[in-house]
Amino acid sequence: MKTFILNMEWIENDFNHSKEYMAEQVLKLVSLQTDRVYVKWRN
């Protein structure tokens, strides 16, 4: 089983998009190749 951990701090704020939008795009791509995805938000 493949697991991907997405650390929200890796995602820089894009000029046109929010961090949440960027994370969503990453997760869409990752979820095609992995069984589980964990998202780590900044505390």
* Least reliable range by pLDDT among 17-21, 32-36, 39-43: 39-43
Q: How far apart are CA 12 and CA 30, in angstroms?
A: 18
Q: How far apart are CA 19 and CA 14, in angstroms?
A: 7
Q: How far apart are CA 6 and CA 22, in angstroms?
A: 11
pLDDT digits (tens, 9 = 90+) for 1-27: 676 777 766 666 556 667 777 778 877
Q: How far apart are CA 42 and CA 14, in angstroms?
A: 17
| pTM of this prediction exceeds 0.85 | no
Q: Within 13 A of 5's CA, how many CA atoms are on the CB side?
A: 4
What is the span of the domain harbouring residue 14?
3-40
What total number of domains does the chain contain? 1
Q: How far apart are CA 26 and CA 10, in angstroms?
A: 11
